[in-house]
Amino acid sequence: MTKESLYGIHAVSAALDSEELLELWVAIERRTDDRVTPLLQKATEQHLPVHEWRSTALGRRLNTDKHQGVGGLLRAFPGQDFETILAQLDGRGFLLVLDGVLDPHNLGACLRSAEAAGVDAVILPKDNACPVNATVRKASAGSASRVPVCTVTNLSRTLSALQEAGFWLVGMAGEGVQSLYTLDLNIPLVMVMGGEEKGLRRLTREHCDYLAHIPMMGSIESLNVSVATGICLFETARQRRGLSPAQQSGRKNSPESARGP
C-alpha cells in the first residue's frame, strides 16, 4: 500500500492528535513559528521522526506551496472488520451507511459529522465509492481514525446482515414518504445516505425498511450529501440523547412501514 502524506497546520495538528502520523515534516524557516512549535512537541511526545527541509524542498515533496511549513507521512488507514463491529454492537446502536459518496471532501465531512453525532460505525462500499485517502483524512480533521470505518465488498449482503441482527434501515431519499422529523429514531438504527448524483442505488433502496426525506422550503430540490448527512445524524442524536442501551435495543416504537416478521 502506498503511503500518503498531508500538510497544513490544522490538518497536521489533527493527525497528531489522532496519532495518524508516522513522520513529521517541517520547513526549516518555520521551525520556531508559534503554530509549528506545538506540533514539534506533540511529535516528540509520540517519539516520531522529525525531518526538516527548506520550504521549497518541502513543497516539492508535498507537491504544493501551500503547506504552511508542515507536513507528515500518514500511517496506513486502520479499517475495521464488519463482523467485529457487528459483534461488538450486539444488536443495538447507531450506524451510518454511505452508498457511493465519491467526493473525498464530502466523505471527510460526513465522517466528521458522524463522530460529532455519536455514530458507532460507518460502513462504505468497496466499489463506486471514494476510499479513505489522505484528502478524506484531512477533511475529517482526525475523525476518520476515531470513528470505526469499514469497507465492505457486498453492501446488499451487509444490509441484510444488519437487519438480521436487529437493526432498522432508514434510507434518505427526496421521494421518501415520511419526514425525517416525524420518525421515532430511538431504535437500533442504520441511517443510509446515497451518493452525490444518483442518491441511493436501487438494491440499497429496496433493502431499506422505509424511506424518509428532509423537508425543505424554496425551490431547492436536494442538499449536498455532507449537509444532508449532518442534518440526519444530529436529528437522530437529538432524539437518542440520554437513552440507555436497553432502551436503544427495544423495538416498541418501530416505524409504521417496518418490515414484516
213 near 174, Cβ under 8 Å?
Answer: yes
Mean pLDDT on 23-44: 95
25 and 47 housed in the same domain: yes
Note whether residue 38 is domain-resident: yes
pLDDT confidence tier of residue 73, bands split at 50, 70 and 90:
very high
- pTM value is 0.85
Q: Is the pLDDT of residue 50 over 80?
A: yes
Cα radius of gyration (the chain): 20
Which of 34, 50, 74 terminates a domain? The answer is 74
106 near 178, Cβ under 8 Å?
Answer: no
Which of 26, 58, 74 terminates a domain? The answer is 74
pLDDT confidence tier of residue 198, bands split at 50, 70 and 90:
confident
207 and 123 housed in the same domain: yes
238-260, pLDDT tens digit by residue?
A: 999 854 444 445 443 445 444 54
User: Which region, left, alpha or beta, applies to residue 100 given φ > 0 means left and ψ of -120 to 50 means alpha?
Assistant: left
Q: Which runs of E-coded beta strand occur in 79-227? A: 94-99, 121-125, 149-152, 168-172, 178-179, 189-194, 210-213
pLDDT of residue 256: 44
61 and 91 housed in the same domain: no
43 and 130 housed in the same domain: no
pLDDT of residue 260: 47
122-151, pLDDT tens digit by residue?
A: 999 999 899 999 999 999 999 998 999 999
Mean pLDDT on 57-83: 94
Number of domains in the chain: 2
Domain extent for 209:
82-248
Least confident of 81-95, 103-117, 148-162, 242-256: 242-256
35 near 16, Cβ under 8 Å?
Answer: no
Note whether residue 123 is domain-resident: yes
Note whether residue 200 is domain-resident: yes
User: Which region, left, alpha or beta, applies to residue 102 given φ > 0 means left and ψ of -120 to 50 means alpha?
Assistant: alpha
103 and 30 housed in the same domain: no
- The CA–CA distances, whole Å, from 95 to 86, 131, 162, 213 equal 10, 18, 10, 18
164 and 234 housed in the same domain: yes
Q: For position 67, which CATH number holds?
A: 3.30.1330.30
pLDDT confidence tier of residue 219, bands split at 50, 70 and 90:
confident
Note whether residue 260 is domain-resident: no
Note whether residue 142 is domain-resident: yes
Q: For position 175, which CATH number holds?
A: 3.40.1280.10
Report how far residue 151's alpha carbon sits from residue 131's, in angstroms, rounded to the nearest whole number: 9
133 and 188 housed in the same domain: yes
pLDDT of residue 220: 81
pLDDT, the chain, mean: 90
Note whether residue 255 is domain-resident: no
